[in-house]
Structures are given as C-alpha cells and as structure tokens.
Amino acid sequence: MKILLITPPLLQPNTPYAATPLLTAWLRANGHAAVQADLSLDLLLRLFSKEGVRALCRELHDNQEAEGFLPAEEDYAETIDEVISFLQDQNPDAGPVIAERDWLPEGPNLFRAYEQEEALGWNFRGLDPEDRARYLGSLYLDDLAEVATMADPAFGFSRYAESIATSLPRFNEFQQSLEAEPTLFSRWLDELTDIQIQKHAPELVALTVPFPGSLFGALRIARRIRRTSPGVEILLGGGYVNTELRTLGDPAIFDYVDGITLDSGMLPLLHWANREPLVRTFVREEGAVVFHDAQVPHIVQNELPAPVYDGLELDRYFGVFETLNPMTRLWSDGRWNKLMLAHGCCWSRCEFCDTSIDYINRYDAADPKTVCDWMESVMQESQFNGFHFVDESLPYELLEGLCDEILARGLEVAWWGNIRFESRFPKSLIQKMAQAGCIAVTGGLETACDRTLKLMRKGITVAGAATVLENLAEAGILTHAYLMYGFPTQTLQETVQALEFVRDLFDAGLLHSAFWHRFALTAHSGVACNPEKFAVTLIESPTGDFAHNEIPFQGNFDHDVNEVGEALRIATYNYMHGMGFDLPISHWMD
C-alpha cells in the first residue's frame, strides 16, 4: 500500500518530530511503500519567506492593529530569506550582518532585547558573534510570528489553535472553527496538502497529533484530502489521541478521518494497511463509534528498525535561540536525531502520571547494541551526530550498557534525555555518561518536598536528588528540572521550602534551568482513581463524548494557587539568568 505519513502544524522547526521517521521505517520493513512529509515545517517556511511576508501584509492591509507593522513590510521582505538561510546553517556569511543593530527591522521583542543589552552592558551574557546573530534572528522571527496572530489569532510559533483543542468535551465546538471562513494559514495549508497528495498519490494518509496544538492542522489537512481526493483513506493517531480520545463516542470526527488509532500506532497502522482485523482502532459503523481491538502480540522494541529521514529534507529545518539559557536552548535549536530506547516508563508508579495507559505502563527496552546500531544508521543518513532520547525515563541499567557500547565502538556523539534523579544513579555512571557524549539531562523534581514526593510515589528524595545533581554538575552535564505546584495537600510552607531548595541549586551551579507546571488531574492517573487518598473532590465536568483528559477538582489549599504559581515562575526566571539569589523568598511571595 502507498502510505503517506504527515506531521501537521505546528511543532518546533529545528528537527523532525519522532513519529513519522520511525513509522515510515516500520511500514517499509513490513512491505509497504511508506513516505513522509512535514507540513509543520512547510507552513512555517511559507510564512518566513519574502512572498510570505508580502502575503501577510496583504492580509493585514485593512487591519488597524497592524498599522505599526505595515510600513516595515519592505524591511522584513528584504531580510527574511537571509535570516532563515542563516538559521538553517546554509548562509554563515549573513551572521555578521544580522549581529549588527542597524540591519534587522526592530519589532517589540528585538527592541526589548537591545534595551536590555544597553541597560546591562552585557552583550547578552557574552555571546560569541555567531550565537549573537542566532539570538537576534530568533527574536526577529518572534516579532513576525506575533504579527501573524493579527491575521489568525489561533497561530503560534510552535502550536496552532491549541486553546480550542484543550479540554474539548464536544467535537461540534471544534468543527465550527474548522469549517469557518479560512484564514491565510488555512489556505496555505490546503495548498501544501495538495502538493503532497499530487506528489505521492497515496492510498492511505496517516496523521500524527502529538499535542493539542496539532489537532486543528491535522484535521484541516484531512478536510482538504476528503474534498480533493475522496478515495484516500485517512488515519489519526499520536499523543493527543492517546490521552484525550480514549473514550471517544462522537462520530462527527469521522467526517474527516476513517480511523483513529491508539498507543504507538504501529500495529494499528499495519493491520489497517494489511486489511487484517483492526487493532486498538476507532471507526464509525452505521453512524456510531465502534472500537476494534484484535488481540495480537505487542511489538518487541529490540526488533524495530532504525528511523529513516528521506523525504524530510533535513537542510530546510532551522533552529531558534530565543532565551539566553543554554539548557532550554536545546529544545528549539540544534539538529537532534530523536530516538526512543524503550517503550514505556521504567518506573510507571507516579500517582500524577497516566500510568494506566500502554505508553507508560508497558516497559520494554531495546538492547544497547541495537540502540547503537540505530544510532550509526541514523548518523549515516542524517549526517548529524546529535541525539535526543525521547524516552519517558532513561533507566540507569540501560544507560550503563549503552555508554559501554558507545565507548567500545568509539562513537563521536552528543546526546541528552530524561532521567530520574534517584539515588541509584551512581557517580561512576554519571561520569561514564559524560565520557559517552551526554551533554544534558532533564528530570522531575516535582514538588521538591519529601512528604509530597512520597505521597505521589515519585521514588526520589530531596537529598538524593541533590546528590545526583551535584554529580551531574561535576561531570559537566547540564540539568533541567520539571517542577510542580498545586499538588493536592501541598501547603504554602512546603512550596516556599521547595523554591528555597531550587534557588540553592541554581546558586550552587547544580541546576541550569527549570519550569514550574501547575498540577493537572488527568483521567488516567492514580489521583483520579483514588481521589480520597489525596483529599480532593472531583468536580462534575460538562458532559460530552469527544475529548476527555483533565478533570476539574476541588482541594483544600491554604494559599492562592494561581498567585503562587506566578511568583514561582518569576523567581525561577531570575535564577535561570543568574539573578536574585540574595533576595529572600518573601520578596517573590509577597
């Protein structure tokens, strides 16, 4: 079967999302003619081009909100191609020009950066000329992206219509937006879809929806295919589907797609293409949603092929460097080959996590030799030696063997991924990780409080995490912490102590970046299953039969969670930039 796998808008443009390279390789290994396309990248490159700027200005011609931007049309049109080619690493000669203040037109983000530079006299924390140009060029793109929201308020640099796809109990609300008068970006996406359908003439199109901000783009693509190529079958899958649509009952979405697949998508896709009994797949039959799940063995992680990248034109991806923090830069800048070493989470016990879902609770790791085979195959094809391991959590047992294999083969690689800050990560392994190319790790400190860490079954302690972070810093490995506030029963005093702990880690150079997430109670978590254990009352949400994930709840907090969250973010932003360590915590919490 001729199958086209598509990444819809919008995702980070610096590297391909992980889904289609792996699924393409898997389908080819099973005898199908699979190809792939990244319409997220294509849409951004359509905007960030000379013709894109001119089209945007034509769209905004009568928009009073854009009056301050329209006079700069020519300045943006004449500079945009140079900036993009520089950020694609295709035009290094443009760097010195971009780095000078008098060349790029100055929108709000760029203007504020220059003001900050003058006030602090710091050349953006001592950036070298190339990074200075990358930073300024990225802020210039941010300014253009903000103007784009005047043409379509749903547009975002790495998301599209995210707000209307979040907590969506009924599909008709979303469908109204989907069928509304098309915006500039919807028209562009229709055109880009036509190009791919004409180029590949697929029998089946598979769309991955990793986040809420990808749902609108995916269904807009599906809508176009329905209208121009009605004989093409369309499947929907991905992270959003797995978390939000597991209890799907609304048949209206099947006006756009033929099937919706759960979990990794490999077996559901293969069985659909082979015309075999369907596996973990929703379809519409006689006007109602029906779930088919033929019982077949799971795919063994160690038997998967290496991802493939042909069709994605890797030289067109571009990195953006919008913050001066070296750790957070990794997500949006640099070329990373994404690999998943293991299916599921090696811990899979955290009460706040979706531990009842297959992609968390079924752990299956590949052999280190297999992983290194994948790495060598990918490096040969992509010509990049940087890897982002996208596992839920990299277990120390797997990392031990992987590092030994990397060192034994003499692979020159750089890699980063998510680990658990647990005391079982010995100093010797951390040093070996650095020798084997590890440059950074992320991990959950969550509430950074022993009582609540125990309650959520995180499996770490504050002291143990501090020791791991100290060993990582000593090995020269950058660290990022995921933090949580508003967890049930968490007190204000515990939150203050957590911020003190985080401040001390930053001040000592043991932590390089962090982000506070507000606790969300999800339908597939342990908290949802046992709310009384966490002293919460589930609030009855609007009835619906489309998306179902986040559950509203009532907890007994001794503080305003919203206000505290804002204080945590402001304080941590300052710590990430090396400021505010001498201020008492009360300064932020007042």
Q: What is the pLDDT of residues 287-337, one digit of tens each?
A: 999 999 999 999 999 999 999 999 999 999 999 998 888 899 999 999 999
In this predicted structure, which of 173-182, 290-299, 542-551 has the lowest mean pLDDT?
542-551
How many CB atoms within 10 Å of residue 212?
23
Examine residue 317 and state whether it is found in any structural domain, yes or no. Answer: no
Indicate whether 314 belongs to any domain.
no
- d(C-alpha 399, C-alpha 419), whole Å: 10
Q: Say if residue 77 is in the same domain as residue 20.
A: no
Look at residues 285, 246, 278 and name the one whose alpha carbon lies nearest to residue 262: 246
Which CB contacts under 8 angstroms, 24+ apart, belong to 417-420? 417/388, 417/389, 417/390, 417/391, 417/441, 417/442, 418/389, 418/390, 418/391, 418/392, 418/393, 418/394, 418/442, 418/443, 419/393, 419/394, 419/443, 420/346, 420/347, 420/393, 420/444, 420/459, 420/460
Name the token pair of 138: 């990225």
Kindly tell me if the per-residue pLDDT of 124 is higher than 80.
no
Residue 161 is predicted with a pLDDT of 67
- Are both 539 and 550 inside the same structural domain? yes
Average pLDDT of the chain to the nearest whole number: 94
The answer as to whether 121 is a domain residue is: yes
Domain identity same for 353 and 265:
no
Rounded CA-CA distance 10/12 in Å is: 7
pLDDT band of residue 119 (cuts 50, 70, 90) is confident
Q: Is pLDDT above 70 for 554?
A: yes
Rounded mean pLDDT, 189-212: 97
Indicate the SS3 state at residue 415.
strand
CA distance 308 to 374: 10
Residues 15 and 65 in one domain: no
Confidence band for 590, pLDDT divided at 50, 70 and 90: confident
Residue 108 included in any domain: yes
| Residue 252 and residue 196 share a domain | yes
Residue 542 has pLDDT above 70, yes or no: no
Percent of the chain with pLDDT over 70: 98
Q: Are residues 150 and 12 in the same domain?
A: no
Task: Enter the DSSP assignment of 316.
Answer: G
Residue 269 belongs to what domain range? Answer: 2-41+161-301
Same domain, 112 and 226: no
Q: Compute the average pLDDT of residues 422-430.
A: 92
Residue 81 and residue 126 in one domain = yes
In this prediction, residues 38-46 reach a mean pLDDT of 98
Average pLDDT score over residue span 57-65: 93
Is 378 within the bounds of a domain?
yes
In this predicted structure, what is the pLDDT of residue 127?
Answer: 84
Query: Looking at the structure, do residues 57 and 166 belong to the same domain, yes or no?
Result: no
Given 110, 128, 159, the domain boundary residue is 159
Over residues 59-87, the mean pLDDT reads 95
Per-residue pLDDT of 370-412, as tens digits, reads: 999 999 999 999 999 999 999 999 988 999 999 999 999 999 9
Q: How many domains does the chain have?
A: 3
Q: What is the pTM of this model?
A: 0.94
Shared domain for 372 and 515, answered yes or no, is yes
* Judgement on whether residues 70 and 214 belong to the same structural domain of the protein: no
Answer positive or negative: Cα dihedral of 327, 332, 336, 337.
positive
Over residues 99-104, the mean pLDDT reads 92
6, β-bridge pairs: 37, 207
Return the CATH number at 515: 3.80.30.20
Domain boundary, last residue among 159, 188, 213: 159
Q: Using a pLDDT cut of 90, give the percent of the chain over it.
A: 86
Residues 153 and 245 in one domain: no
Contact 528, 243 (CB under 8 A): no
Is 312 part of a structural domain of the chain? Answer: no
Asked if the model's pLDDT at residue 34 lies above 80, the reply is: yes
